[in-house]
């Protein structure tokens, strides 16, 4: 049972979303929420509070009668549950729910405590609202996507339940659950906020870290099997640059290769007179996709760490409007729901993930082009040249997918379109940015899967299973359990998908 106290980190998301660890709301959180609700109820009795006794957005000029306050919240939820496109996968919805639960638990939203208890039950029972990918502009938060969450909390709409898409009312009946009590601003508080883009973003960062580990491991393995000189990974060289990410990537690769029998020392081969040599048969320095890995993946790691920090700050922030301050006995109106922080971070993340896929594709090309590596057959073809094709077919897939990533890595952050009668005249498009990043991450796993199969085939051809490092050998053994040695041509797509699934679910 995971104790929930209103402060979350990446590890908390991993445990709840990826490992399905149930959460238990601490009494202090429930008390904080209850105090916030009671304060707002009393404070709003003789004051104009946006979203409590006014319309919404450009309709805020219209005062709402006390007798219509509750209907106002239901109207908002139902009218804005207007998403289209593909349903968001339950994992991402669960992350969004956890993010929303957290911000509402801070006591700045004035929601009824039933919101907290019902959302907790839905998370723990893996009942995930149907939320569509399209609909959010990310300015007054993820209004449309979060409306679909709110719709479920009032007992309407649809959910995913035990692998099936069902009507909420039917699932609530099976699970003996009751809808929330809509009393003040439960609709607006649920819908105003950045929780969908943030939830998707946090899952993106978890997958990106997994992807980065595999790309780093592949990079080490390729350096190894081509017998590269190891000084480009040395502590001394990388310490001469001050970037932490570069130093950590180089350190990781050194650890990976610590017991390799294949990497070479420059002093053993080139740091001598070589008086009888006019042309060196072997390369004095490797191609950049092998030699510059710490300098390429270092910025990826630094960016990933920075993105994680911003997202965790966002998830632990009050990001709706207005903000209730029980201590100061005041309600503040503003724009905490605006998603620019998340939108920008997602654009940063998808750029570095696209760059990882580009590095993987170039390393793949190096292995497949016999004129470049001068040690492997064309396309690492273990069969009869001309008759068989080896990895030739899947290279097209890797190249095509990488090209898509390059196009998708263009920023969404700067694509604002005014809407909502120009009330929302500059918006973040944060959920779009997070969803495009999700696609770029998924694409990159496909490219790395193809590279991994190629690395294993190369080890097979070179017959160096007993010379590679223990980490590369473990990688070799794991992939070999999924993909057989093939000399004759085989249908490749099932193997690519199996390896992709493996590296998504397993750490290196």
User: Which positions are catalytic?
Assistant: 50
Distance from the first to the final alpha carbon of the chain: 27
Q: What are phi and psi of 156, to 5 degrees?
A: -120, 180
The 3-state secondary structure of 288-353, one letter per residue: HHHHCHHHHHHHHHHHHHHHHHHHHHHHCCCCCCCEEECCCCEEECCCCCCCHHHHHHHHHHHHHH
Give the chain's largest Cα–Cα span: 98
The first and second tokens of residue 56, run together, are 């919404």
Nearest-angstrom CA–CA distance, 64 and 471: 66
Q: What are phi and psi of 349, to 5 degrees?
A: -65, -45
Distances (CA, A) of 187 to 75, 77, 88, 293: 9, 6, 21, 49
Nearest-angstrom CA–CA distance, 336 and 64: 24
Closest to 124 measured CA to CA, from 227, 42, 17, 225 = 17
The 3-state secondary structure of 83-103, one letter per residue: CEEEECCHHHHHHHHHHHHHH
CB pairs under 8 A, 24+ apart, for 248-251?
A: 248/298, 248/301, 249/216, 249/293, 249/294, 249/297, 249/298, 249/301, 250/294, 250/298
The residue to which tokens 């919101």 are assigned: 115
117 alpha-carbon distance from chain centroid: 27
| Rounded (5°) CA angle 448-389-498 | 35
Q: What are phi and psi of 503, to 5 degrees?
A: -75, -20
């Amino acid at each position: 049972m995971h104790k929930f106290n209103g402060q979350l980190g990446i590890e908390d998301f991993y445990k709840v979303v990826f490992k399905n660890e149930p959460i238990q709301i601490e009494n202090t959180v429930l008390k904080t929420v209850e105090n916030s609700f009671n304060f707002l109820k009393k404070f709003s009795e003789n004051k104009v509070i946006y979203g409590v006794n006014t319309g919404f957005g450009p309709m805020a000029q219209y005062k709402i009668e006390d007798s219509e306050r509750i209907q106002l919240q239901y109207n908002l939820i139902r009218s804005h549950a207007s998403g289209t496109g593909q349903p968001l996968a339950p994992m991402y919805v669960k992350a969004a729910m956890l993010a929303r639960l957290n911000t509402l638990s801070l006591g700045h939203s004035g929601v009824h405590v039933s919101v907290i208890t019902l959302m907790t039950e839905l998370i723990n029972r893996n009942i995930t609202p149907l939320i569509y990918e399209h609909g959010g502009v990310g300015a007054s938060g993820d209004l449309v996507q979060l409306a679909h969450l709110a719709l479920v909390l009032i007992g309407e709409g649809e959910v995913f339940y035990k692998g099936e898409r069902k009507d909420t009312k039917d699932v609530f009946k099976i699970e003996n659950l009751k809808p929330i009590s809509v009393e003040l601003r439960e609709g607006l508080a649920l819908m105003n906020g950045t929780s969908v883009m943030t939830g998707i973003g946090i899952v993106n960062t978890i997958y990106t870290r997994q992807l980065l580990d595999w790309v780093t491991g592949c990079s080490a393995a390729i350096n190894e099997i081509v017998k590269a000189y190891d000084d480009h990974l040395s502590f001394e060289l990388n310490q001469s640059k001050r970037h932490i990410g570069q130093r950590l990537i180089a350190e990781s690769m050194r650890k990976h290769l610590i017991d390799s029998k294949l990497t070479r020392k420059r002093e053993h081969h080139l740091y001598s007179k070589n008086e009888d040599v006019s042309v060196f048969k072997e390369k004095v320095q490797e191609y950049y996709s092998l030699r510059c890995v710490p300098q390429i993946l270092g910025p990826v790691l630094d960016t990933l760490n920075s993105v994680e920090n911003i997202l965790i700050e966002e998830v632990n922030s009050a990001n709706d409007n207005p903000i209730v301050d029980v201590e100061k006995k005041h309600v503040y109106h503003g724009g905490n729901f605006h998603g620019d922080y998340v939108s920008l971070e997602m654009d940063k993340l998808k750029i570095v993930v696209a760059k990882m896929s580009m590095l993987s594709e170039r390393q793949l090309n190096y292995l497949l082009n016999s004129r470049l590596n001068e040690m492997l057959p064309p396309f690492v073809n273990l069969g009869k040249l001309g008759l068989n094709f080896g990895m030739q077919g899947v290279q097209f897939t890797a190249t095509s997918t990488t090209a898509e990533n390059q196009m998708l890595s263009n920023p969404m952050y700067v694509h604002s379109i005014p809407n909502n009668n120009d009330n929302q005249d500059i918006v973040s498009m944060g959920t779009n940015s997070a969803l495009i990043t999700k696609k770029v991450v998924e694409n990159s796993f496909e490219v790395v899967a193809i590279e991994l199969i190629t690395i294993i085939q190369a080890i097979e051809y070179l017959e160096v299973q007993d010379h590679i490092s223990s980490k590369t050998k473990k990688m070799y053994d794991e992939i070999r359990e999924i993909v057989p040695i093939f000399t004759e041509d085989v249908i490749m797509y099932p193997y690519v998908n199996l390896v992709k699934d493996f590296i998504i679910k397993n750490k290196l």
